[in-house]
Each structure stands twice: as C-alpha cells, then as structure tokens.
Amino acid sequence: MASVPPALPWVTWGKAIASQVIVWHHLLLYGPLSLALDADWPAATAFMYDYGRMAVQVFLVAGGFLAARSLWPTPGAPRIGWRQWPARVLARYLRLLPMLLLALVAAVAAAALARAWMADPHTPAAPTFTQLLAHVLLLQDITGQPDLSAGIWYVAIDLQLFALLALLAALARSALCAGARALACALPLAAGVLLSLVWFNRLPEADMWGPYFLGAYGLGVLAAWGRHGGRRGGATLLIALLVTLALLIDWRERIALAGAAALLLLWQPWAAALARGRLYAIAGWLAAISYGVFLLHYPVSLTVSTFVMRLTPATHGWQVAGLVVTWLLSLPCGWLAWRWLEQRPHRVRLVVASRHF
C-alpha cells in the first residue's frame, strides 16, 4: 500500500476500515470455520456476505484519488505522454509484484497443507504451470484459470485501472490539451466514467475488466481534481450528476457508496478532528499494511482452518476462536510483509517508481 499523506485522513480511515471489512467478508465466505458463525449468527453473516464486499468501492475511489496525484493532478496538467506510458505501467506492475508473489507462495503452501490434513471442497487444487503464470501476470480471470487465493483479482483490476487512467491522461495531453481549456482536457475521463457507470458496470460478465470499475475509480480522480483551483463546487456537481444518472438507470448500492466516498475525499470534512489522537495512529498503521493484509489473510485463514479442523474438537467455540485467531494473525503477517517488501524494497531488488495502491 502507498503511504497516505497526513493531510488526507479520510483516505487513511477509509483504507483502514475497508481492509478489515474485506478480511472479515472473506473469512465468512471461505473455509469450514465460517459455518460456525453462519449457524450461530445467520443474520449477521448474511449481512456481511451481502454488503462486506462493497468495501472494495472505498479502495477503488481512494485508488483513483491517489493515482491522480502522480498521473493527472489537475484536468489541464496530465503528467504522462505516450512515450512514458509503457514504463509507468511496468513500474506499477513491479510495485505490486513482490507482495503478489509472496501471497501466491503462501497460498500454494497453505493449500498443500490443507489438502493433506483436512477435507474441504473449497481448498484449491495443486496449481498447474499455466495457472501460476496467469496469476503472476494478473491474467487469471481473463484466461479462465481457477483462483489460487482471495484478493488477487483486485490487484489485476488495480493494474488495469492504473494503465487505463495513464492512457486517458496521455490522450488528453496529446490530443486535447494543446491550447485547450482544462474542461476539454477532462472530457476523456468524464466520458469513460459515464460509460462505465451506465453500461460496463451493469454487465456482471465484464467484472474481470478495468472498465467495469472505472466509474468508481474515476470518481476518485474527479474528487482529486476538485481539491485544486477552487473547483470543489463544480466537481461536486459533476460527481452528483454522474452518480444520480447511474442510479436512475439502475440502482446499485455499490455505486451509491462510491459516490459518497468520492464526496468525502473531495470535501474532507472534520479532517483535523480525524487526524488527532491515538486512534488515528492505529488507523494509519492499518492503512499502511492493508495491501499485505489483503493478500495474505487467505493463506493465513487456510492454515489456521487446517490446524483447527485437525487438532481441536469439532465445536462452534473452537471454530469461532479460529476465525478470530486468523484475523489477529493476518495483521502481523501483513505488517511483516509491508516492512520487508515496501519499507525496504531494496531487499527484493526491484526498481519501484509508483506507490499508489
């Protein structure tokens, strides 16, 4: 995860809370331990199953908001041209790759242990070379390969969206911004967001492609633009119009949440109050390690589930305890991965030029 500027507490709090919601959504979705909570608290687990996934919208909006700062900070000032596009996208991929490789190794090892020690139909089978290669290249959903771990689909979408935003910025820089006003430079993105919200996002079979999520991501970009040059009023109106039109065509709670998140990032209400106190330090830590936690909680879950099912009595108490232990272990695992791969990237000898997950 990228470090969040201290002046943006809503980004910090959003990533901190959304990452934990997503972890618990997955804990209640995968593995045999989730059956205990489902039996004891069916309403709560149903709610988390149905609505927990929507926390991804917060990451999408925040991702667009942060990516705009380096690629396209204001409508009339795109920072990337056609010649820079391949290098920037490659740098982004290399930024995401170390944590992805660690998560894949951990998931494959945890699945091997699970297949040997417990019987659960949801445990991934031993991977083929093609399956591994597709995951490393972030093409697993496009090529129809079975998932080896939870969360990798989002990494693939993040890379696609970054590449798409960089492409639109290069288009605006080369074709529209030569002597044009800032509003004209914003047209490629605004058109892409509108097309995503009213069309692509309504096609469930398209959720392996970046344009499906460009609406939420682009709303984050619009929020970033609105924070410069006295544009907040215009950005608010544009975001509200785009979201309202999308919801009138097809009501989607995820889009309503994305719109609300974009407006919060645009206006940053009560920012000073949110940035005070010990709780903000905890939120900052959770936001910093969120990428590692997001990718590593599944192999941790698989490993803990294996030991609980193998070594403890088959009671709901032990299974619920296993879920809590999984969550608690995911945090230090994410922290260690963050320290090793993001705070000290020279250890993996990769050149990193982008830090905006």
Between 166 and 186, name the one with better pLDDT.
Answer: 166
Q: Is residue 355 part of a domain?
A: no
In a domain, 78, yes or no: yes
| pLDDT tens digits along 140-184 | 999 999 999 999 999 999 999 999 999 999 988 876 555 556 667
Percent of the chain with pLDDT over 90: 65
Q: Would residue 290 count as lying in a domain?
A: yes
Query: Residue 216 sits in which domain range?
Result: 9-348
The pLDDT of residue 83 is above 70: yes
Would 205 be classed as within a structural domain? Answer: yes
Burial environment of residue 113 by CB neighbours within 10 A (0 to 12, 13 to 18, 19 or more): middle
Angstrom distance (rounded) from CA 184 to CA 203: 29
- Please tell me the distance from the alpha carbon of residue 212 to that of residue 161, in angstroms, as a whole number: 10
CB atoms < 10 A from the CB of 274, how many?
17
User: Which pLDDT band, with edges at 50, 70 and 90, does 276 fall under?
Assistant: confident
Look at residue 164 and tell me if it is in a domain: yes
3-state SS, one letter per residue, for the chain: CCCCCCCCHHHHHHHHHHHHHHHHHHHCCCCCCHHHHHHHCHHHHHHHHHHHHHHHHHHHHHHHHHHHHHHCCCCCCCCCCCCCHHHHHHHHHHHHHHHHHHHHHHHHHHHHHHHHHCCCCCCCCCCCHHHHHHHHCCCCCCCCCCCCCCCHHHHHHHHHHHHHHHHHHHHHHHHHCCCCCHHHHCHHHHHHHHHHHHCHHHCHHHCCCHHHHHHHHHHHHHHHHHCCCCCHHHHHHHHHHHHHHHHHHCCCHHHHHHHHHHHHHHHCCCHHHHCCCHHHHHHHHHHHCHHHHHHHHHHHHHHHHHHHHHHCCCCHHHHHHHHHHHHHHHHHHHHHHHHHHHHCHHHHCCCCCCCCC
Gap between the Cα atoms of 112 and 20, Å rounded: 26
Instruction: Supply the pLDDT for residue 39.
Output: 75
Who wins on pLDDT, 245 or 183?
245
Residue 5 confidence (pLDDT): 53
Q: What is the pLDDT of residues 219-243, one digit of tens each?
A: 999 999 998 877 899 999 999 999 9
Q: What's the pLDDT at 272?
A: 84
324 part of a folded domain:
yes
Q: Is residue 94 part of a domain?
A: yes
Q: Which residue has the tokens 């608690």?
A: 328
Residue the block writes with tokens 């320290």? 339
Asked, for residue 353, whether it belongs to a domain, the answer is: no
Which residue do the tokens 């697993």 mark?
140
Structural domains counted in the chain:
1
pLDDT over 70 percentage in the chain: 91
Q: What is the mean pLDDT of residues 270-278?
A: 82
